A and B are shown apart, each in its own frame.
Chain A
């Protein structure tokens, strides 16, 4: 399956009896252009609203940030999912210092980068006395973005940016949360993206063997309620 790119709320969530777990992607951008308070651990917290179907789960997250700041080593940045998972993207790059760039961290200016798991360059490895923006391109956050995998994307994501040292300040210009989700189809028991008798057969086999996958109601019991739930899902088809 190849992901489609579109704003989440406009996703053509094509309901198809032939679809199973399909991937979707979309950007959720805010352009707050707000100052980041200097030397304030509280910093700023910016919500990014995402609407998604209940059947959607996160398969990957990227975050594109555009920050103007005079001393990038002042900044700590985290991202919190609607489920409450928090990861650190950046934590005062250059600190602790092993000589370079010094105990105040990286003194470079500005950040225009996409935090993603799909690159080889740690964000905090980019520090230069001359490059502006000093952190740029596709970069790995301090903690992996796949911490959000399988969570529901629906709800409010929280971007927190704080400046932890005085004398230099800056602003968040833009943030774009780039989500790729899988739309789950539990009735596609064989995972072949087709709903047919083979799924029914596979479910009944699993049910007979009391396999976890057959516990459709997820109540730890294997009974008619699971069969009913499966058939209901099968009847409803897949998104």
Chain B
């Protein structure tokens, strides 16, 4: 029996197995088109960066201990308001810190609750001490950490007046050697009095930047390629005059610039128009996209949005039926918002506002009576070389299957497998941090024995499946049944933990590694390349903690970093996918096992429904 992809994937890989470099294998990619309605709805556009800030209601303070009287110590003062305060002690060696937390007014007996919890997603296998100052103990408090050796770490504090710090980048096109500016603001009524940033380069160089007096922006130039972790610290004053100290944590990828696209050459036939840009001789894989516009009686009219993965040859293809359907004059054709994205970080490498691409004497087909599938995905697509490793797991059998897909940096299948029936496949790529694209290629590889498959995915697995469905031909395209991709707890719009993980990586190690695709900006870059027809194949569920009287969190540490409601890793708001099927939000379930409520992938009721409805 022939296996999926075997004809052009597996054999070359086996032949190259002894090579040290990952072999390049031709992968079948789609020629993606979205109708004009996707353009007008803003689904295939980059958002304004100010609309996707990183927000925070806490301060992540580094602990740099001083050697005093034979001991190491660090202390800070907390402004505790009526609502109380919460503190998490994040040390690589938690047992080395001894803690005192006392009100400066020693006249009263402090009421403090303590406990331990993991730091979900960032360091899920470690327990950290947390302290809560309960309500109605206003005043200055002092937190002191002592150790018998220098034990650095971070203290995460939510205290002071209720306030939120928002920080956004000035551009989503964050490129090496080009300045990046971070703009910060506090919510209405509060103002920033000073702003600073600690910037750690991909190679570990740490620099500090301060905003000029009277401004709330910090600019830096990323001289290196790769992921910068940045901690922005804002001091401010609330409307009632209370001091504010908040931080936001960021992960910003400085992508290497690509050769310029330049003016497209245009070739047309009865069936299609091909726009050819300057090649990229480095053969770097990128995603190219553009809006196609024309005119009807002088009025600009959107024809379609087109996109595909490219390699050395950088072309876009438009089915001429879209021109016929739009009714525009081909001699008025132009491309707008031409974008070239890095395939892994999703950073836009080049954006061209407009490019005239007129065509004259072009035969047009009859206007189609309806949009057909091949108008959206291309009839055949093309092959683009990519690095892909075949990992045919024992559980990945042939035929038509439902694949259960885990998420980022997971050490086990999160779903209760016994809740599913029929032919199953368990995706296994444990303890990895991959871009959505690399994750999707792993899915493609592990699904290679299958004629078709549907997906039930957790967390990043959902984005990887949607990425696969959008950009590549795979067994997903042949699955039958009701729901192609069902996801639970997938952060389609990102999670602030991605930035926090990057900053905290200094003390915990980076675990599975940082993940640019799951920041708010990385997610926005990616989502701007996902058309409605692909989103329509996604059925997603979100969950959050049971909002009880005593507890309102899944993970008490990440609760300091996320906006409620959340499942301990993703906020409900960031789990929404416009254009997809929202299957509901359920309280009482957290992102993974080990949190206050059960792991969302163990919900038998939901799992049974997903099993029943799944395409295979």
Instruction: Assess whether B451 is in contact with A168, with CB atoms less than 8 Å apart.
Output: yes
| B1 contacts A165, C-beta separation under 8 Å | yes
Which of the candidate stretches A91-99, A144-152, A218-226 sits at the interface with the other chain?
A91-99
Closest to B374 in A: A128
Complex Cα gap A95–B372 (Å)? 23
CB contacts under 8 Å to B, within A4-40, are: 39
A104 and B2 contact, Cβ closer than 8 Å, known pairs A99-B381, A167-B398: yes
Q: Are A97 and B400 in contact (CB under 8 A)?
A: no
Of the residues B1, B383, B478, contact of A102 by C-beta under 8 Å = B478
Residue A237 is within 8 A (CB to CB) of chain B in the complex: no
B477–A97 CB distance below 8 A:
no
Interface status of A216 (Cβ within 8 A of chain B): no
Whether B144 sits at the interface, judged by CB under 8 Å, is no
* Contact B451–A129 (Cβ < 8 Å): no
Q: Report B-chain residues with C-beta under 8 Å of the C-beta of A107.
A: 451-452, 477-478
Please, how many angstroms separate the alpha-carbon atoms of A67 and B452 in the complex? 21
**CB nearest neighbor in A for B28:** A99
Q: Which of A95, A103, A129 has the most CB of B within 10 A?
A: A103
A96 CB contact (under 8 Å) in B7, B452, B473, B474: B7
- With A129-B373, A167-B399, A167-B400 in contact, is A103–B381 under 8 Å at CB? no
Chain A: residues with Cβ within 8 Å of the partner, total of: 21
Scoring B7, B373, B378, B383 by chain A CB atoms within 10 A of each residue's CB, the highest score goes to B7
User: Closest B-chain residue to A129, C-beta based?
Assistant: B477
Quick one: given A107-B452, A166-B1, are A102 and B474 in contact (CB under 8 Å)? yes
Contact A99 B400 (CB under 8 A): no
Docked complex: B23-65 residues within 8 A CB-CB of A: 26-29
A157 contacts chain B at the CB level, 8 A cutoff? no
Interchain CB contact (< 8 A) of B381 among A71, A100, A130: A100
* Bound Cα distance from A196 to B372, whole angstroms: 61
**Is there a chain A Cβ closer than 8 Å to B22's Cβ?**
no
B373 and A103 within 8 A (CB): no
Complex contact A98–B372 (CB within 8 A): no
Main secondary structure of the interface of B (DSSP, over half): mixed
B477: nearest chain-A partner, CB-CB: A129
Contact: B29 with A103, CB < 8 Å? Answer: no
A71 close to B374 (CB less than 8 A): no
Does any Cβ of A come within 8 Å of B379's Cβ?
yes
Q: Which residues of B contact A103 (CB under 8 A)?
A: 2-8
A99-B28, A99-B382, A129-B477 as given contacts; A104 in contact with B373, CB under 8 Å: no
A125: min CB distance to chain B, Å: 9
* Contact of B475 with A by CB under 8 A: yes
Could you tell me the distance between the alpha carbons of A95 and B1 in the complex, rounded to whole angstroms? Answer: 13
A45 nearest CB across to chain B (Å): 23
Report how far A2 CA is from B6 CA in the complex, Å: 52
CB of B380 within 8 A of CB of A102, answer: no
Indicate if the CB atoms of A98 and B5 lie closer than 8 Å. Answer: no
Across the interface, do B1 and A130 meet the contact criterion of CB distance under 8 Å? no
With the chains together, A166 CA to B473 CA distance in Å? 21
Task: Decide: A100 and B373 in contact? CB cutoff 8 A.
Answer: no
Residue of chain A at shortest CB distance from B476? A129
Nearest CB in chain B: distance from A171 CB, A: 18
Pairwise interchain contact B380-A99, C-beta atoms closer than 8 A: yes
Q: When the two chains form the complex, which single residue of A95, A98, A128, A129 contacts B383, counting CB atoms closer than 8 Å?
A: A98
In the complex, A101 has a CB within 8 A of chain B:
yes
User: Chain B nearest CB: distance from A239 CB in Å?
Assistant: 46
Q: What are the 5 A-B residue pairs with the smallest beta carbon separation, nearest first?
A: A99-B28, A107-B478, A167-B399, A130-B373, A103-B7
Q: 5 more A-B contacts (CB under 8 A) besides A99-B383, A100-B379? A: A71-B451, A98-B383, A103-B8, A104-B2, A107-B478
Q: Can you give 25 contacting A-B residue pairs, CB < 8 Å?
A: A39-B1, A71-B451, A97-B7, A99-B27, A99-B29, A99-B380, A99-B383, A99-B473, A100-B378, A102-B4, A102-B5, A102-B473, A102-B475, A103-B2, A103-B4, A103-B7, A103-B8, A104-B2, A129-B477, A130-B373, A131-B373, A165-B1, A166-B398, A166-B399, A167-B451
